[in-house]
Amino acid sequence: MIRIPCLIIGYLIGCIQTAYITGKLKADIDIRKFGSGNAGTTNIAREMGLKTGVFVLIMDALKAILAFVICSQLFSFTGIDKQLLGFYAGIGVILGHNFPIFLNFRGGKGIASSLGVMLCVDWRAALILIVIGVILIALTRFISLGSIVMLILFPIFTLVYGKSIECTILALFLTASALFQHRGNIKRLLSGTERKFNFKKRGGHENDNSNETGSDQSTN
């Protein structure tokens, strides 16, 4: 039963929407009304610039790491594997990030937070997967493709590095979550209509809050 409090704590931390808060503070916009309507790294990077996107990615990863550390230490007295306790908190963060109760359950896709969880579960596997993801993104400019591949491979790496069956099951949940959240991207990748990321283009809403179109639904 101690897993439930871990999920709840993680969920509440996950509800801290970095992209939404950053958009409001930096340009007085609701990032969910621009681009893909997604409150995550890729959309805010497209709309407000790569540096802003990197900041959001780091903060979203850190909130997963924070929840992982808090729960693994707070409930260590139970005798349950600390890593599992942290993993459940990480799952909660991703659920909170994707479906934040304070923003009508409209959040992001959880990839940055998933990276934070992966780093805590096994930094060796996480670094390998990050390298694979970065290479795919650099070669194809499809951020969605790199994200999906990383999460598909993660459960395999938990087995390779000798994690428990429960840990692998939780890793499979991360994979399922990523696939569900990227179902539109997957359809566009298969049809050849997925939008590539332009690393050189500067975001257009850093100081402009007058163009809330929300018309581009092809982004990650």
- The string of pLDDT tens digits covering residues 64-96 is 999 999 999 999 888 888 999 999 999 999 999
| Distance between CA atoms of residues 154 and 67, nearest Å | 20
| Burial environment of residue 25 by CB neighbours within 10 A (0 to 12, 13 to 18, 19 or more) | exposed
Q: What is the mean pLDDT of residues 107-127?
A: 95
Is residue 135 scored above 90 in pLDDT? Answer: yes
pLDDT-derived band at 10, boundaries 50, 70, 90: very high
Helix (H, G, I), strand (E, B) or coil at 219: coil
Nearest to 30 by CA among 48, 50, 42, 49: 48
| Distance between CA atoms of residues 77 and 179, nearest Å | 35
Q: Are 72 and 42 in contact (CB under 8 A)?
A: no
Q: Are 92 and 6 in contact (CB under 8 A)?
A: yes
The residue assigned the tokens 């930096």 is 26
Is residue 141 scored above 60 in pLDDT? Answer: yes
Nearest to 146 by CA among 124, 159, 130: 130
Q: What pLDDT, on the 0 to 100 scale, is given for residue 209?
A: 43
The residue assigned the tokens 């590539």 is 196
